[in-house]
A and B are shown apart, each in its own frame.
Chain A
Amino acid sequence: MFRNESRKITSVLCKCFGIEFLQVAEDITHDTFLKALETWTYKGVPPDPVAWLYVVAKNQARNYLKRNTLFLEKISPALQYLNSERQDMDIDTSDQHIRDSELQMLFAICHPSISSESQVGLALKILCGFGIDEIATAFLTSREVINKRLFRAKDTLRRIKADIEMPPDSEIEKRLDAVLTTIYLLFSEGYYSECQDSVLREDFCMEAIRLTALLLENKQTHQPRVDALMALMYFQASRFPARRAGNREIVLYDDQDESLWDQVLIARGAFHLRAASTGSSLSTYHLEAAIAYWHTIKEDTPQKWENILSLFDQLLQIQYSPVAALNRTFALFKVKGPGEAIAVAEKLELTDNHYYFTLLGTLYLKVDQEKARAYLQKAYLLARTSPDKHTILKKMATCNKS
């Protein structure tokens, strides 16, 4: 509850004050929760805790306004708004206004003037309510690095005076693309991070889904590619329980018990994939969602891999990426056999990537045992996580046996 409410309060305060006072909004939110800690702990949780938080946040905001003359001058419009309605409701905390503020903050944070890494960090901190330590853990870096990164990003937003408004219709397409990229990265950070804290990682993914839901609720941003991204994320998230089923480490796709795949999330994914199939443009999210859809069927059929291969072909045409090319090679192997796949794979030369060597090793298993072993050894040296190392060792064992 604290995390949910903190992000709402920060968004609403920041919307009211302007982006220049993002830090002030964050501080007021933080003080509100400290006050809750020092009060509720000893006096008991109030009957309506959320309302209590809003009242305290508003009071803190008002006190801040009274004290800080610089603040007074700079945000006089907001101040008038606060004063005029002082008798009853100072700051609009209706659900609709909270949602609008969050969506507008999302666009402000995904401003083209700051790096995508910082956008993800800011989104996690402000829109999702994560702490610096949690963000640092997920990014496998130190608190200082994250603090510096966020400080610089906030500084930029302040300098350019980013609006906390929805972009005009003329810009919405481009700005929406930036927002989707950030949400996609946020989800990937949770899904593929090497951080071992699976609860935290899943929380990141669920936050990405929540932010996408905000976009889908709004007419201006409810577009087919947003549905496609949502479908992609639901399909991937459906495997969380199966990934978690191991004792300590993540269970990789091939070893998962598919009866643990969350059928409700798969159905939601399918719903959004259908909803995405309108309009004339085909985005990378559409293709990735379709590939993810085929992965929700565990059984290997020719049809499955032919479809996946053709989807990868289209994906690479729209946007080439080494990782997608690598994954395409695996699909090619499933459809055409090792010979053709090896020829394509060896041209990729992704020599710093352990997946690349794992794939080459796998492709060579039935062709040339010596080469298979050599590639898997290279992969083992490059792999960083123990589930990955474990998979490679298992493959090496099969090549020793035969």
Chain B
Amino acid sequence: MLKDITLGQYFPGNTVVHKLDPRTKILLVIVYIVGLFQANGWAGYAAVTGFTCLCTALSKIRPSAMFKGVKPMLFIIALTALLNIFYTQGTPILPGWIITWEGIARAVQMMLRIVLLISGTFLLTYTTSPIALTDGLELLLNPLKKLKVPVHEMTMMMSMALRFIPTLISETDKIMSAQKARGADFETGSLVKRAKALLPILVPLFVSAFKRADELAVAMESRCYHGGEGRTRMKQLRYQTRDRIALAVGTVFLALMFVLKRFGL
């Protein structure tokens, strides 16, 4: 049950998209989101959809994997669509009906917007390993160090948190089995009862998480870790030709979106 969660799961690969510098990819996702929100006509949405499909095809991520990411959001997507259908003024599709043509169009566009938003961000996490991602983030946020923002420490915490998600999941699984073997029941009863039933899982989970954090801290200190100051990296990130091309494509995309918006398409 717990294993089905896809939270920024990384699919290793060897495509252009995988090989792009993480900084490029993070920037492109920002460009993508800004571009997506410029779309307010069919031409705009078509352009964004086309761009998304192109990137997905290049990354060789299967559409089914993309769909899996969208699935948990289906409820919100459906709700947005419903609200838009019923609350948009315009010409009714049949005389006297509440549903308008404009409503349907808006609902479809809203659905597209959410799906595209999720797909774009998932494409980033699907094709970038968590370590590369935090490395990229750290370098992008580097200028903030001048303002005394602890960028390195923040990204280190982030990568550690990501690293321990699978560990915690398997730990939870184990503790759940052990408590079930002692007759704990997580599935039946009222909401309050079920919330209480979580206690035998949460307490041991927290205890071991704190213990692990402690051990990790000691292990890091005994290897002389002392934060980001003067720290060098094994894998230096360097912009390549492909990154320049990708950023150029991103700029063109953004320009196109602004133009389309300007003409109300």
Our verdict on whether A and B bind, yes or no, reads: no
Interface residue ranges, A against B (CB under 8 Å):
none
